[in-house]
Amino acid sequence: MVEETVEFRSVRGFHDILPEEIAYWQRLESFSRRILEAHGFKELRLPVLEMASLFKRGIGEETDIVSKEMYLFSDPKGRELCLRPEATSQIVRAYIQNRMDLKEPISKLYLIGPMFRHERPQKGRYRQFHQIDVELIGDRGPISDAEILILLWRILQGLGMGDLVLTINSLGCEVCRPHFKSHLKEFLRDKREGLCPDCQRRSEKNPLRVFDCKEAQCKASLEGAPRIDESWCGDCTDHLRAILDLLSEAGIPYILDSRLMRGLDYYTRTAFEVKTKALGAQDAVAGGGRYDRLISTLGGPDRPSIGFAIGMERAIELLKLNEALRPEGPKVFIASLGFRARLFAFKLMMELRARELKTEMAYGESSLKSQMRQATRYRAEYVLIIGDEELEAGTVTLKEMNSGEQTQVKISDLIRRLIGPKTP
């Protein structure tokens, strides 16, 4: 009987990140961590699985994420779980559960990891994607908005991503947003016929969400809609003005756009997005906003907060446009000829590795020429050549690959030569 061969492939929208790309991921992560830590943010790591109700309550039932995009399933006990579609609600869950509010008045947290949304996959849009999520919990004032925005800008600019546009808006507060909502509702009542079925429902239940709809007919229906800046109360206007002044002083350019709505229910006041012209249709690299009511909505204390998320796949596409990063080659490649020399090479390799010197040698037996080719492919900085003769003489040949310079080095001097004098 011939066994049928099955071709296993990753799930649509889920991607393998391979070693040749990893230098970009490591650069993005290590640079971001450095900047975040310098600004007083601490990392936390949370599960990818959560109760689905957390996001329904946090993000809102009428949002695209909750109504269409969550990976939902039941566990063996019949509880409704999901793969996290975003991090803010989850960080807030952890903040409340772990009583972080009792430990410190302000919590500055970040999380790096995968998010899951069942969207239509395309370039720059995946079903599993990664975010660097940053939250400043516990302050109401515009200084924290400015801190968050300057921090985001520093990370993206510091990585050399030029040509970014920061767009900012205020979504109002519990005082002024209801006015805007009722104006919008009234406006949409006349446009009902032209809206898609989802938006017909949203226009009554949660009219702000009509702004997120990607249907052309709904976009057209919104022409001439009331603008949120016409409804801002004095406090919201002052809050935004203070942020914009601080941004200007920090030399950060921005665009005010009263149509920026951000697709999630929990935002209050500040909402923002960073876009690029370099990536085509999926042009948002980062986004975020203030969420003064989310923590109390999810059962925690009254802690106004603000945060952002950087989309890592998109940030990496931008990095790739700017610099060619490759995984680092080994410091040393050991080429050996003959059985005794191979055994010696193996022991030397393990010793160098124990001293954290990245070292490789050929696995099978092969000619010197082929080992030298391998060293070049690895992009090794040095090659050590060891044959039986060298072993007799207690020396090895050390070749610096860049200059091609070759020297004879005593085996007893080798480690000092490669590592340099030991620093205490």
Residue numbers of the site for ligand AMP (CB under 6 A)? 86, 117, 119, 125-126, 129, 131, 284-287, 309, 311, 313-314
Using CA atoms, how far apart are residues 357 and 349, in angstroms rounded to an integer? 9
CB of 69 to ligand AMP, least distance (A): 8
Residue 220, Cβ neighbours under 10 Å: how many?
Answer: 11
| Tokens coding 127 | 């079903």
Which stretches does DSSP call E strand in 36-177?
Answer: 42-43, 49-51, 71-74, 80-83, 107-116, 128-137, 164-170
Going by the DSSP 8-state scheme, the letter that residue 383 receives in this structure is: E
Using CA atoms, how far apart are residues 297 and 89, in angstroms rounded to an integer? 10
CB of 228 to ligand AMP, least distance (A): 18
Q: Output the residue with the shortest Cβ distance to ligand AMP.
A: 311
CB of 367 to ligand AMP, least distance (A): 47
Query: In this complex, which beta carbon is closest to ligand AMP, that of residue 206 or of residue 397?
Result: 206
Query: In this complex, which beta carbon is closest to ligand AMP, that of residue 147 or of residue 317?
Result: 317
CB 311 within 8 A of CB 284: yes
Query: In this complex, which beta carbon is closest to ligand AMP, that of residue 226 or of residue 307?
Result: 307
Query: In this complex, which beta carbon is closest to ligand AMP, that of residue 86 or of residue 147?
Result: 86
| Tokens coding 176 | 């002024």
CB of 276 to ligand AMP, least distance (A): 10
Find the Cα–Cα–Cα–Cα dihedral 101, 102, 104, 107, rounded to 10°: -20
CB of 132 to ligand AMP, least distance (A): 9
Query: In this complex, which beta carbon is closest to ligand AMP, that of residue 116 or of residue 333?
Result: 116
Query: In this complex, which beta carbon is closest to ligand AMP, that of residue 286 or of residue 384?
Result: 286
Using CA atoms, how far apart are residues 65 and 54, in angstroms rounded to an integer? 13
Using CA atoms, how far apart are residues 145 and 163, in angstroms rounded to an integer? 22
Helix (H, G, I), strand (E, B) or coil at 416: helix
CB of 283 to ligand AMP, least distance (A): 9
CB of 308 to ligand AMP, least distance (A): 8
Query: In this complex, which beta carbon is closest to ligand AMP, that of residue 177 or of residue 275?
Result: 275
- E strand or H helix at 111: strand 107-116
| Integer angstrom CA distances of residue 323 from 158, 208, 276, 318, 371 | 13, 40, 17, 9, 30
